[in-house]
Amino acid sequence: MSIVYDERVDGVLPKVDKAALLSELQARLPDLDVLHTEEDLKPYECDGLSMYRTTPMMVVLPEHIGQVETLLKICHQRQVPVVARGAGTGLSGGALPLEQGILLVMARFNKILEIDPAGRFARVQPGVRNLAISQAAAPYELYYAPDPSSQIACSIGGNVAENAGGVHCLKYGLTVHNLLKVEILTVEGERMTLGSDALDSPGFDLLALFTGSEGMLGIVTEVTVKLLPKPQVAKVLLASFDSVEKAGRAVGDIIAAGIIPGGLEMMDNLAIRAAEDFIHAGYPVDAEAILLCELDGVEADVHADCERVRQVLEAAGATEVRLARDEAERVRFWAGRKNAFPAVGRISPDYYCMDGTIPRRELPGVLKGIADFSEEYGLRVANVFHAGDGNMHPLILFDANQPGELERAEALGGKILELCVKVGGSITGEHGVGREKINQMCSQFNSDELTLFHAVKAAFDPSGLLNPGKNIPTLHRCAEFGSMHVHHGQLPFPELERF
């Protein structure tokens, strides 16, 4: 796909005098690393969503906040668009660069500034990797709860921008629930603090507004995250099912039994086999679906809950329920799940990872719907997802070298997301909207709601220089895209009912 920012529908970007900008940067920020040759720029043409690629006009790699401050002031004065990027692991093209813009790479801000075990927080720079926070907190028996599958590589600044989740967010919440404070630079290069060290902050909750705003409201320069005490014990149950619908129903049964698992994940046969081939986790390759249910807390509690969950799973028709025998097997069970995406990558030339949420009760029906779409479009779909919180990740398998397959994959993905919205869910759980789902936002929200989003954006960034073309579609794009608004399952015309 070549055109990723389309001025016809996304708005006209200012024309940038590249040579003049470059010489001003070199004059005012002589220590700043600036990449501007074709070969230097190439590695930055996409993030974790490789379907869309654009060569940025320029890439900057600052090392001091003062550099970012000056850079933003220069860009603001010259009206140069700026796209921020952390580790580049995002899956919705949120850090996709612009041909006429600067890509601001924050990866070198990788210092852990403070761990306060009594206050239970860590203050870190935005380029610090998610897992590095938990590693630094480990000596105090504390950890940072949100754990996206990319946690070994993804940075906390990107986690804030995308409001990242993970396999444990059913119990411990998303990024937004685990933040105390974020320092940002505004589009004008002014420093600002959102949130506070205290529990609550007066005025409007700009910290929550900022979290998940995908680089459109400001640049993260420092993050203070909450740390939690490590659970004393964690156990994982692996349950096999002979149908995905039964597994889907079992998820609702566990929650209805009053249990809050640390994680509750589901994989279907295609995902099971791919992961098993790759990781040798010990998964039952003949099962149509498995559930991984983690219970954590104190010994007695976990032991009792394991028994209750086992009973619920058996009553729901599980053909086998296995408790990980030891910590090594527990880690292996999770390794299979966390590596499911690359595992699927081994069995198909390309795959397209979707990310939609639905109310839990809709799981069986939506899984059936996805199977039907898969057949209709002639493309395999592997399901591996955060079942407990209704956050689905269908992986659509295709071969971009086969004419038409990419377009079919995109269309199939769109159908799945529309189905999510239709049953009362949403088009993204944790990967963000970015460039990928910009059109589906026209289905999720009506024009009044989109207008309100734009007004909020304008409150922070009136000239729209920060990450333009992502997250919130222009009304013009929605008109062009021609999507019917299917807000909360209410189709305006019954004859359009297609699910």
Task: Kindly state the smallest distance separating residue 488's Cβ from its own copies, in Å.
Answer: 7
- Asked if residue 134 binds its own copies (CB under 8 A), the reply is no
Residue from 65, 131, 424, 499 in contact with its own copies (CB under 8 A)? 424
Closest CB to its own copies among residues 56, 429 = 429
| 226 phi, psi to nearest 5 deg | -75, 145
- CB under 8 Å to 256, separation ≥6 — which residues? none
Nearest alpha carbon to residue 59 among 50, 47, 48, 51: 47
Largest CA distance in the chain: 71
Number of residues in contact with its own copies under rule CB under 8 A: 82
Pairwise CA distance, residues 160 & 183, whole Å: 11
- Nearest CB to its own copies, comparing residues 33 and 253: 253
- Which token pair is 309? 């969950």
DSSP label at residue 296? E
Token pair listed for 419:
């189905």
Amino acid at 162: E
Task: Give, as one character, the DSSP assignment of residue 199.
Answer: S
Q: Which of the residues 22 through 41 are near its own copies (CB under 8 A)?
A: none
Nearer to its own copies, 238 or 427 (CB): 427
Query: Whose Cβ is closer to its own copies: residue 11's or residue 117's?
Result: 117
Q: Token pair of 110, please?
A: 């990788």
Contacting range for its own copies; rule: CB under 8 A; set: 21-29, 240-248, 404-412, 427-435: 427-435
Q: Is 426 in the site for its own copies (CB under 8 A)?
A: yes
Main-chain dihedrals φ then ψ at residue 214, nearest 5 degrees? 55, 45
Out of 20, 42, 43, 204, the residue judged to bind its own copies by CB under 8 A: 204
- CB 411, min distance to its own copies, A: 20
CB nearer its own copies, residue 299 or residue 327: 299
Instruction: Report the amino acid identity of residue 345.
Output: G
Contact residue for its own copies among 40, 141, 307, 407 (CB under 8 A):
141
Task: Map residues 223-262 to x or -, x wherever contact with its own copies holds by CB under 8 A.
Answer: ------x----------------------x--xx-xxx--
441 binding its own copies? (CB under 8 A) = yes
3, 20, 285, 304: which one binds its own copies (CB under 8 A): 304
- What is the per-residue binding string for its own copies in 468-487, x denoting contact by CB under 8 A? ---xx--------------x
Tell me the residue ranges of DSSP E strands in 139-218. Answer: 142-143, 179-185, 191-195
Site for its own copies in 271-300 (CB under 8 A): 297-300
Quick one: which of 427, 442, 466, 478 contacts its own copies (CB under 8 A)? 427
**What minimum distance in Å lies between the beta carbon of 384 and its own copies?**
17
Of the CA atoms within 13 Å of residue 478, those in its CB half-sphere come to 20
Q: Name the minimum Å distance from CB 102 to its own copies.
A: 23
Do residues 43 and 58 make contact, with C-beta atoms less than 8 angstroms apart? no
Q: Is 369 helix (H, G, I), strand (E, B) or coil?
A: helix
Residue with smaller CB distance to its own copies, 316 or 397: 316
If binding is defined by CB under 8 A, does position 213 make contact with its own copies? yes
- Contact of 92 with 355, CB cutoff 8 Å: yes
Pick from 199, 325, 326, 498 the residue near its own copies by CB under 8 A: 199
Contact map string, positions 92 to 131, toward its own copies, x by CB under 8 A? -------------------------xxxx-----------
Q: Per rule CB under 8 A, is residue 200 in the interface with its own copies?
A: yes
Residues 311-370 that bind its own copies (CB under 8 A): 357-361
* Residue count of the chain: 499
Q: How far are the Cα atoms of 30, 55, 125, 189 from residue 70, in angstroms, in the given order?
A: 12, 24, 18, 7
Among 53, 78, 108, 177, binds its own copies (CB under 8 A): 177
What x-and-dash track marks residues 385-404 binding its own copies by CB under 8 A? ----xxx-------------
Token pair for 202: 């007066």
Q: How far is the CB of 486 from its own copies (least distance, A)?
A: 13
Interacting residue with its own copies among 154, 206, 289, 384 (CB under 8 A)? 206
Rounded least distance, CB 403 to its own copies, Å = 32
Q: How many CB atoms neighbour CB 138 within 10 A?
A: 12
Residue 453 binds its own copies, judged by CB under 8 A: yes
Residue range at the interface with its own copies (CB under 8 A); choices 76-84, 143-151, 265-273, 429-437: 429-437
| Residue carrying structure tokens 């060569």 | 55
Dihedral angle of Cα 219, 222, 226, 229, to the nearest 10 degrees: 130
For residue 307, the one-letter residue type is E
State the Rg of the chain over Cα. Answer: 23
Which of 17, 40, 114, 197: binder of its own copies (CB under 8 A)? 197
- Rounded to whole angstroms, the Cα distance separating 330 from 262 reads 13
Q: What is the rounded distance in angstroms from the CA atom of residue 207 to the CA atom of residue 211?
A: 6
Q: Whole-angstrom Cα distance, residue 152 to residue 184?
A: 24
